[in-house]
Amino acid sequence: MMIPVKNITTSNIECSHCQACCCRMDVMIISDTGVPDKHIAVDEWGSETMLKLDDGWCSAVDRNTYLCTIYENRPWICREFEMGSDECKEEFNVVKWV
């Protein structure tokens, strides 16, 4: 059964034990920050997004550490996504398995 978790305090939220929930979102690439081509998906209209693999995560996530392997070159959207922000809280343990 899935139960939505509400009122998560910001102090409980840390990327280090989050398993990079936000890295399962669709990430558009809107400027050139040096993302390697192998991590870029291009649609039929030429729009670029971070490539997602079959497991649902961005291809640039290290599957063991859940850290970004292209941190210095990550897209602007990733840079703007702030730990503890409302968007982060929404992604971070939105549901809990019991």
- For ligand SF4, the closer CB: 41 or 83: 83
Contact between 51 and ligand SF4 per CB under 6 A: no
- Alpha-carbon span 35 to 75, nearest angstrom: 7
Residue whose pair of structure tokens reads 């809280």 in the numeric block:
89
Q: Residue 39 contacts by C-beta under 8 Å, 6 or more apart in sequence?
A: 50, 51, 58, 59, 60, 70
Select from 27, 28, 38, 42 the one that contacts ligand SF4 (CB under 6 A).
27
Contact between 92 and ligand SF4 per CB under 6 A: yes
Select from 8, 40, 41, 68 the one that contacts ligand SF4 (CB under 6 A).
68
- Alpha-carbon span 8 to 57, nearest angstrom: 23
**Residue 26 phi, psi dihedral angles, 5° rounding:** -75, 125
Contact between 21 and ligand SF4 per CB under 6 A: yes
- Catalog residues that contact ligand SF4 under the rule CB under 6 A: 13, 15, 18, 20-23, 27, 50, 58, 60-61, 68, 70, 74-75, 78, 81, 83, 88, 91-92
